Amino acid sequence: MNTDEHGSEIKTNLFLIRVHPCSSVAKFIGIASMKIAVLGANGQLGRDLCPRLAGEVVPLTRAEIDLDRPETIAAYLSANRPDVVINCAAYNFVDKAEDDPDAAFRVNAWGVRALARACRDANSRLVHVSTDYVFGLDETRTTPFREDDPPGPVSVYGLSKLSGEYVVRSTCPAHLVIRTCGLYGVWGSGGKGGNFVETMLRVAGQGKPLKVVNDQRCTPTYTADLAVAIADLVARSAQGLYHVTSAGDCTWYELAAEIFRQAGVAANLTPTTSAQFGAPARRPGYSVLACDKLATAGVTKPRPWQDALAAYLKERAAR
């Protein structure tokens, strides 16, 4: 790692990370000297997060740590003992999990349990990213879920992620669990071949009709904004459970309509219901997360989802 007046450069086999010493998070005493390992560093959140973290950032892929191979977890952490471990890795194939629950639980629950144990033993602080899909059982809900509201998942995926939350909170004393929702970023989701925004624009560009569910209300979140909030929470040594999403809420149909409006794309878009769409896994009808607790940690809530979408489209066009 070389340091000059322009900041610190961290060379990895993935990309070069430059951390400016005058960044807002680097101003916190002791943070710039921390060693932070990031699991899932080549995913859409991980790639937005790594450059925004202060300190010595170590991006990790499945080659170094694989949640589906617990032996890699203990071996890496016992040998390297980072100050902070941020887990952006997960099994996130919501529909496939219904037919193969073992695959979801191996990564999202048992792999996370091994990670929590290894972090505890290495005296590493664990930051774990979870999901709004831990909710959904309350079909009458119309107000955003707070961190202290009882969860109730309606899918195998949601149950596996909730199990991961429980093992983190019960196993690793120094932990931070962050629930978020509907992620999209310029790097896309490698496992899913893009993100919702890109899928909508691609299908519309092909001139195909689009039917999008209008009875699932949540808050789509730009990974760049989520990364800023996570970096701030880490810098402030926040612990416990926090919700972090863009502000406001919408249905997936409303999001699609806003994508086309902002992008200036004509699309054959019609609303449909979850029942008509017929996905194998049930989704929450309402899973909006309240992010007011961020203020207690001194962290600014992310901007409205419409503004975040505009920023994403601008960044996308610049690439």
| Residues marked as catalytic | 157
Which of helix, strand or coil describes residue 189? strand
Question: Measured in whole angstroms, how far is the alpha carbon of residue 158 from the centre of its chain?
Answer: 14
Helices 70-80 and 112-122 cross at an angle (nearest 10°) of: 20
Maximum separation of any 2 CA atoms in the chain, in Å:
58
Beta bridge partners of 145: 289
**Residue 71 neighbours by CB distance under 10 Å:** 9
In this structure, the strands spanning 2-4 and 7-11 are: antiparallel
What tokens appear for 158 in the block? 């949601």
Q: Which residue has the tokens 């878009």?
A: 269
Encoded amino acid at 230, one letter: I
Residue among 112, 29, 27, 123 nearest 65 (CA): 112
Q: Which residue has the tokens 């194939």?
A: 93
**Which H or E element spans position 271?**
strand 269-272
Buried b or exposed e, range 77-106, using 16+ CB within 10 angstroms: beeeebbbbbbbbbbbbbebbbeeeebbbb
* 256, 197 contact by CB (below 8 A): no
Buried b or exposed e, range 142-158, using 16+ CB within 10 angstroms: eebbeeebebbbbbbbb
Sheet with 2-4, strands from edge to edge, namely: 2-4, 7-11, 16-19
